[in-house]
Structure 1
């Protein structure tokens, strides 16, 4: 077994990727292009103070943290009035002092990464890839009381992927348990079962350890951590070690836990979404309903994220840190695809530590009453309303031009929770909108001519969009318009098969 001591942060991605933060330049590599697939499946007071504090930190850190990217973030910036409201919730003198101290600590940590300078990695299976890949599938694993599910997860992962898809990825597994016998057994099992993938340099297993002096909470014997606090601490350290190493292997990073199963061709699903979002700003793309698994990042953002993990040790839950990291890099709302690409079985401890976590189960769409307007060419009696009617009718047009739109204007504002747009014929797949996006509109104009303000929901992926609509906490703003916008001229027929809308009438059940 070889031993590597990894020093400092991972290097920035410099390929043709989307890039870090909320920037969008380049896109997924085409040499490993998979076959096209339409997207079918992506104490109370203390908590309140913590949330207010992190939001305020986010606003101040943002200006220092990404100065070189300020010109590229206009779509996600908060207004001065919103910033004043957030900061007004805190005690001004004390909070500003704490934030300045935190900012200095964070900037120093970002420069030197003192904790990650002591990170140690020992290669157990495989070797790093010789060329940069499109996607690193990162899995952090440790020994579970009920036995590890890692081998089953790896088996399902490789079975769900075709050979061209596998050429795009490297699977990185970080084992955090320090028991030599367990490490040797896991390494031997993986070598026996996945030798072909190991020899193809698409599977790498390492033992990771955060060396150096103990962290402060490790020395607090008078107040031993609760089970949940211990879980949060271990998760942050393990993921910091995983992401620190993964920052060098690919353009994008997909986070998985060691107890998941994936749908067939999930790599193609991720690929085509990355391609559609290549020129749009994003920080985290979420392909599942799970707390951690199924999230995709730019690898150029991973050094910043690992610094944040190690700065906020103690008992801060991981999902809160990921949410605040998204805000730090100026993505104000989650980008969450409705259909998940994976599933997961939770341990009893995880269920105990996340008691309020629920999974949305959507019923049938319930399109509210609306008017439909368009500036596309309408032929004969094929009216635009067909696109919004929940039946087999569809709206057809010819040679749509850049800037053309079809807009749904709701009779009254609604709290819409999910939107699906289908274009093109069903079988065979043709006549779909090649380049388009869906926008959300607010404040209806007089005469039902559209809305006064629009924000991006997302681009169509292979003529299809299916996303969850998120709102800021305690927001009273409701949706008034849904606009399908053509982004490039298309010399062919276009079928807008169906626009499906779900309002706030949905069922929830525990995961």
Structure 2
């Protein structure tokens, strides 16, 4: 009180004293609050450091996985070499006669075929006859190179090395002392013991990219109705930034054994995306036909028909092959399908979310970026062997998405707890991300006769057309003989209200745009198909112009119409269903523009974008 009295003498009324105290309190409080607010520690740098540590942790997991793989390879090689060097049984000898000394005979080891040998012994070239002085080597063990047919002496080994090799390989030890032989892929796919090339890809189109943050696996098979593969790949790559392209890998797995079909798909991919293939962003792989077991060896399970059992068993084996191929290539793996649509920037969103979970020390085994089937499921590359082994064990028993459910249940659930506990515990390892980053766009399943119109309701609406009514010049449109489906007419599409959807284009069908008044065009763009119906595109269809002046048609360097009706061909739809180009000023004002179909189509045709940009500078 003495402090307050120093500021306020006794003659000051009590009411003014109270107001003064309040004012003094505010004068002290406000600057202090501002000082505390603006001088608070900056946590952004600390958060960035935590995220970097999470990424380093992910890199370390990936490197440990690669190290274990190399250790396994070294162990297998050491075992093989040890068995060769420690063989104590005398080799089977054959007698050969040299041409230099016809009377001299020499005994050489007879080669034996190993399971990994690519060809039978009879296909190997004959062993070259050693020189005469080689007779002094008769007391030395010989080895045989089955690929070249060359015979070479095995080097002598010291007692210490012999003891070490015995310890590593177990050669010569009793059954109780020999190392255990753990189950391998041959226990679940025993037919591969007779097919040494079954685990090697039959075809690869690869730039050799490795060490990326995110690997996208896209399995595809031959579909009877329509393929969505090229549209899916185009959408996936258009949704990436340059930085994302440099730190990602898309692997297309062709799950077919028809070599001609595999080569055709690979050619289509290389033709449509040459830069992405050359840069290493996009690659293609196909398994050997001998990788798959015979359908007759499969058991009928779950009451399914033999056709469905074979279909879902093959899908599990396809996923196991694809994951095995992708596991050493990147730190995170995302399983997709060949009929999906992705949100722009999806790669960074997935990577940041996964690293955020690791930075917060929140465990996860699978992150779900789409709630349908196996679409958009992310795993750590180092943990893919868990899935691969599980798929190989039970490929004949249940569908692949059910197997993922069972694996999570096995890892986290307890038998002595109720289902509620299991459901809550499951959410720790199976993380859902919203909104979904991927949408299923296909209608026809790879299983014959199966139609599925599944949509992820958490993805949101997908734009089905792109209007340009404000940019397009006034025109009278005519769909000709091509009948429009319901309200999806050409006039409404040109007005920017919807897309045009025509029924089964036939040769000679035209879509005409008659300009009123004639206009000088700068460029045109027609996009066919949309997200829900990517295969409803225009095929073998040209873009043709009709100039106002007939003299232009005779002097233009563009291709005149074979029918000599005054139209000039200036473009055509490519394999992705897009026709675009610039219009030369030499044409002058145009009366009409038309799209002309030159061949029959098995699908309907959609125009989802119509852009006719006038030349305002003319």
TM-score (norm. length: structure 1)? 0.46
Flag the structure with larger Rg. Answer: 2
Q: Could you say which structure has the higher helix fraction? A: 2
Q: TM-score, normalised by structure 2?
A: 0.39
Bigger share in strand: 1
- Tell me which of the two structures has the higher relative contact order, counting C-alpha pairs closer than 8 angstroms and 6 or more residues apart: 1
